[in-house]
Structure 1
């Protein structure tokens, strides 16, 4: 197996952790020396039924009152979907999903031994509105395979499609009632709601970095509550202690998709432990009244990766102002790509592409999944001796 800085990735593993009283829930992807195909019998399922049910609940909410910021043209038959969706019971959708896709697994090894080839740089990943970390499994384990420890935080502010409650143990988790997606009422001020959520999310990102740094210091004051295939219970705190002295703590980056992009910018503005940021098709509505202050606070380089169908004049204007304050930022636009292409869902609903317009002009395997070539890695993983971006 080649080193992580080559064109060939290492193999990723994963671990779910929950942090004490805060209820922080994080999935951690990391490099391992184990051979993934040899452990296919323990690959975790893509998602539990509660999350898939939560996903249709979010879709129903969006179709019921189409967001002004969402690109309607990404879906050919949105009018028909709007008429049908209210009649799809949330409890039935997981069965429909299985009929369409069968059993879906993630090709990673739960609780595998962490590779010790080097100290790994860190990435905290923030999911989009109505999503959850499982929807971004491909991008997270791809990045981990190139030599990162990636912590995908599951936001508990009501912006996730579904999330788990705070519980004392993995046994309690089985019978617990989760936190659903928060549907907005007509009386709600959406900007106020989203602004409160993005601030909450930013705090969770900060706590996630705290958690990683604790792991690196050998402090394990949280529990591994993951339950994997065949009810395989997670390893104990001794396993989590194996992360001690495994991280390059001077190279921490924060990234996110859509609403997670706004979370990324706010996190950069108020936590200079993050050396860089990556925004995948950012949705910045929640920060529309705070742009000017963010421009001044963010000294770290930011990489913007935009999709052609989602990028708007407002987004271009905002990014242009960012460049006026810091020439180290970079921005790219993927032609022929749609907002959903950063997620796993276009791969899973491949049979529906022709009906939903998820069939884009790009080859996802060539263009979507390999953002991080050596040039991009050098941007995210700054040289240890370069302190010019620390404010």
Structure 2
């Protein structure tokens, strides 16, 4: 079953574990290379315990009814039992999705509609070191809010996280901004063509270009064109870029790392979906020279997906790379699903637990943070230095869950 968390009567995703508070903001860039993403970033100031905070100041996980409608479409068209159960329930699925998530909060200060003031500017660590940048690519039928648990945890340790919302038809919903500042909506259309992966890779590099403009102080947010983003000027460490992805986003990560334009120091893949690159996984593995951490789930990384992934792994030559599978886990452990699905929703998405969701979440995040600490040239390591030994000890204590591939 899923794990529902409540504080002061408010349902929320897990609290970030790092020493810094977290801010959140949505950004949509302008022009032909426009991208839409949600930012999670550390903010300075005295950190008030989450239990003492007003949840009304936190970020809404819910993005709107089109997203629930798109996810219902995904469930109906992909589950094996959809022909008789889910098709009959289809008029109610999006209402159920709305009911599950409409009041869900993310424990990060929502700064949309404004900007960090001078005292709360996102300046990374207490030593004002620049923030390493992590670009995140989501999986099929996900969206920019679906990795809030991982993103807030990374941001609380000093990272600047950009969670993309892909607009190739694979997100449950998304939109484009018109010249009149209105939204033109698109709903999930599934995996239809190879060009979707190319589109996703372009959005990854467009996100990097947006990060560079943000660091220069020249980025315009189409969602709030009247508000400056100048408080992020000079705050990003663009020499320490990380690319991360789940499922289809894991495949997107591998393809982007193999691209001649690759500018990422390391990559992280969570349960990469190998179908879009099944034609020649060996060639893709050889083309990725960047160190990669891959963490897969027990139920997803099997059959044809596992065979293709092993071919990629065997062809990949970066000795720093690590490949793990977590026992007793499902594909949806890689995102926010355990914290929001509810019993019925978890059954619909084929969820199951051998280990508690808290342990799996902490183990996954600790693997990522220890990997980043080892292979990034972080300007000020004091934040991580204080916690990495604890995280390494947790990994050691739970090594029976990990299978090293």
**Which TM-score band applies after superposition, normalised by the shorter structure?**
0.7 to 0.9
Q: Who is 1:335 aligned against?
A: 327
Determine whether 1:285 maps to 2:294. no
| Deviation for aligned residue 1:262 | 0.6
Determine whether 1:249 maps to 2:264. no
- How many residues in Structure 1 have an aligned counterpart in Structure 2? 340
Gaps of 5+ in 1: 1-5, 67-78, 185-189, 226-233, 385-391
Contact 1:260/1:282, CA 8 A, preserved across alignment: yes
Determine whether 1:361 maps to 2:354. yes
Give the alignment of 1:58-137 within 5 angstroms: 58-63=74-79, 66=80, 79=81, 81-89=82-90, 92-100=92-100, 103-111=103-111, 112=116, 113-116=120-123, 117=125, 118-137=129-148
Contact 2:132/2:378, CA 8 A, preserved across alignment: no
Give the alignment of 1:1-391 within 5 angstroms: 8-22=18-32, 23-33=34-44, 35=48, 38-47=53-62, 48-63=64-79, 66=80, 79=81, 81-89=82-90, 92-100=92-100, 103-111=103-111, 112=116, 113-116=120-123, 117=125, 118-168=129-179, 172-173=182-183, 177-183=184-190, 193=193, 195-220=194-219, 222-225=220-223, 236-238=226-228, 240-270=229-259, 271-312=261-302, 313-323=306-316, 325-352=317-344, 355=347, 357-373=350-366, 375-379=370-374, 381-382=376-377
Q: Who is 2:11 aligned against?
A: none
Contact 1:136/1:343, CA 8 A, preserved across alignment: yes
**Alpha-carbon distance between aligned partners in 2 of 1:52 and 1:15, rounded to the nearest angstrom:** 21
**Alpha-carbon distance between aligned partners in 2 of 1:178 and 1:7, rounded to the nearest angstrom:** 35
How does the TM-score come out when normalised to structure 2? 0.77
Contact 1:139/1:369, CA 8 A, preserved across alignment: no
**29 and 289 in structure 1: CA distance in 2 versus 1, 3 angstrom threshold:** same
Contact 2:61/2:102, CA 8 A, preserved across alignment: no
Q: Who is 1:389 aligned against?
A: none
| Deviation for aligned residue 1:241 | 1.0
**Alpha-carbon distance between aligned partners in 1 of 2:221 and 2:198, rounded to the nearest angstrom:** 25
**Alpha-carbon distance between aligned partners in 2 of 1:180 and 1:354, rounded to the nearest angstrom:** 22
Secondary structure (helix, strand or coil) at the match of 1:133 reads coil
| Deviation for aligned residue 1:100 | 4.8
| Deviation for aligned residue 1:95 | 3.1
**Alpha-carbon distance between aligned partners in 1 of 2:372 and 2:278, rounded to the nearest angstrom:** 30
Q: Return 95-104 or 342-351, whichever deviates more.
A: 95-104
**Alpha-carbon distance between aligned partners in 2 of 1:297 and 1:54, rounded to the nearest angstrom:** 34
Q: Who is 1:75 aligned against?
A: none
Gaps of 5+ in 2: 1-15, 380-405
**28 and 383 in structure 1: CA distance in 2 versus 1, 3 angstrom threshold:** closer
**Alpha-carbon distance between aligned partners in 2 of 1:12 and 1:322, rounded to the nearest angstrom:** 39
**Alpha-carbon distance between aligned partners in 2 of 1:99 and 1:216, rounded to the nearest angstrom:** 38
Query: Alignment RMSD, CA only?
Result: 2.5
**Alpha-carbon distance between aligned partners in 2 of 1:108 and 1:16, rounded to the nearest angstrom:** 13
**Alpha-carbon distance between aligned partners in 1 of 2:17 and 2:65, rounded to the nearest angstrom:** 36
**Alpha-carbon distance between aligned partners in 1 of 2:279 and 2:185, rounded to the nearest angstrom:** 32
| Cα deviations by residue, 1:248-300 (Å, 9 ceiling, x for unpaired) | 11100101000000100111111331111000000021112243332332211
| Deviation for aligned residue 1:320 | 3.1
Q: Who is 2:4 aligned against?
A: none
Secondary structure (helix, strand or coil) at the match of 1:44 reads strand
| Deviation for aligned residue 1:57 | 1.0
**169 and 377 in structure 1: CA distance in 2 versus 1, 3 angstrom threshold:** farther
**99 and 208 in structure 1: CA distance in 2 versus 1, 3 angstrom threshold:** closer
| Deviation for aligned residue 1:139 | 1.5
